[in-house]
Amino acid sequence: MLRLSRVFHQFVCWSVACIQCGVIVALMFIGGAVAGPLEDAWNAYKRGDFATALEIWRPRATQGVAFAQLSVGIMYYSGQGVPQDYGEAAKWYRLAAEQGNATAQSNLGSMYYSGQGVPQNYVQAYMWVDLAASRSSAREDRDEAVSNRNVVVSKMSREQLVEAKKLLREWKPKLPAR
């Protein structure tokens, strides 16, 4: 029992660190695509001006901008500028994850693993973490996602794993709703 508790703790700690690293990595990789309002929001977030960041990100998240959806999810998960609300965080992570955002996929997988804001579901946890592992552009993020996928699979029955792999084969990124 102690070993599983330590592994679970490491999994959750990695996921929280991934949230912050993912935002930074995403900004590095999308460069110019963040210019303008999203860059202003990021700068406000770094200054701790969460109200301004949310004011800029939320309308864009509602419009289907995956990076903004991820960012709003992070704010709800961490309780930055809003009351901490895991259910609301999961909602925003799901919207970004469904578009293929690897950080959001990893974060959503972590929430399904631990049952934060969503019912605990190892099938969903595996699916989202596996997608993150296959879509992460940075090797370190990919390696961590693979490691976390292994933690999830250690808790799954054979039937659950078969179901998760079926969901993976059927998964397709969704276009943002306009």
> Are 127 and 160 within 8 A, CB to CB?
no
According to the model, what pLDDT value does residue 114 have? 96
According to the model, what pLDDT value does residue 149 have? 95
> Are 75 and 59 within 8 A, CB to CB?
no
pLDDT at 24 over 70: no
Nearest Cα neighbor of 102 from 46, 7, 19 is 19
pLDDT at 103 over 70: yes
According to the model, what pLDDT value does residue 15 have? 54
According to the model, what pLDDT value does residue 102 have? 94
* 75 burial level (CB within 10 Å; 0-12, 13-18, 19+): buried
pLDDT interval class at 157 (50, 70, 90): very high
pLDDT at 4 over 70: no
Query: What mean pLDDT do residues 14-26 have?
Result: 49
* 167 burial level (CB within 10 Å; 0-12, 13-18, 19+): middle
According to the model, what pLDDT value does residue 175 have? 85
The structure tokens 């390696």 sit at 143
> Are 23 and 103 within 8 A, CB to CB?
yes
According to the model, what pLDDT value does residue 144 have? 86
According to the model, what pLDDT value does residue 140 have? 87
Q: How do residues 43-98 score in pLDDT, each as one tens digit? A: 999 999 999 999 999 999 999 999 999 999 999 999 999 999 999 999 999 999 99
Q: How do residues 114-148 score in pLDDT, each as one tens digit? A: 999 999 999 999 999 999 999 988 888 888 889 99
Top pLDDT among 139 and 8 is at 139
Q: Domains of the chain: which residue ranges?
A: 9-170
Pick the CATH number of 9-170 from 1.10.579.10, 3.40.1000.10, 1.25.40.10, 3.65.10.10: 1.25.40.10
According to the model, what pLDDT value does residue 17 have? 47
According to the model, what pLDDT value does residue 25 have? 45
